[in-house]
């Protein structure tokens, strides 16, 4: 049991990180990554809305609610990170912001896949 716990703690110790001073420009790089992720998220959301609009205008509200729903969770995380309630936890830079952008983009990509599936299903019926 001691060997197993020692081995487990040894392996997990390599995955921890902490830094006193972030490398120069890392915070700005994380902010730029966040901006790009949010920009692509908005682009994907607009494409999803346009796909729904092109084949089923009367049900555009479904996609709009999905976009708002998937955007709500990252917005809450962004506010919590801005207020310092959730933070990087000793990591350098602002990896929380990058994670929030990835969550937002991932959610909108799920919506885009759903809309493409519905669009192809609609086109196959014609």
In this predicted model, what pLDDT tens digit does every residue of 64-102 receive, in sequence order?
999 998 889 889 988 888 887 876 665 677 888 888 999
In a domain, 37, yes or no: no
More confident residue, 4 or 46: 46
> What integer pLDDT is reported at residue 110 of this predicted model?
94
> What integer pLDDT is reported at residue 17 of this predicted model?
59
In a domain, 111, yes or no: yes
CA angle (76, 67, 110) in 5-degree steps: 100
In a domain, 52, yes or no: no
In a domain, 84, yes or no: yes
Q: 85 to each of 2, 15, 53, 88, 92, how far by Cα in Å?
A: 37, 23, 39, 10, 17
In a domain, 85, yes or no: yes
Give this prediction's pTM: 0.77
pLDDT of 11 above 90? no
In a domain, 35, yes or no: no
Residue 37 · residue 104 · CB < 8 Å:
yes
Percent of the chain with pLDDT strictly greater than 70: 88
Q: Report how many domains make up the chain.
A: 1
In a domain, 82, yes or no: yes
> What integer pLDDT is reported at residue 9 of this predicted model?
72
- Structural domain boundaries enclosing 123: 58-126
In a domain, 30, yes or no: no
């Amino acid at each position: 049991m001691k060997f197993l716990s020692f081995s487990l703690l040894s392996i997990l110790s390599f995955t921890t990180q902490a830094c006193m001073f972030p490398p120069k420009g890392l915070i700005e790089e994380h902010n730029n990554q966040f901006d790009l992720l949010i920009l692509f998220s908005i682009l994907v959301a607009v494409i999803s809305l346009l796909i729904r609009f092109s084949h089923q205008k009367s049900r555009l509200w479904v996609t709009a609610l999905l976009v708002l729903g998937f955007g709500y969770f990252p917005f809450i995380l962004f506010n919590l990170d801005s207020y310092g309630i959730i933070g990087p936890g000793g990591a350098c830079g602002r990896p929380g912001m990058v994670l929030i952008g990835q969550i937002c983009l991932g959610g909108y990509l799920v919506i885009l896949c759903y809309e493409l599936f519905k669009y192809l299903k609609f086109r196959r019926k014609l």
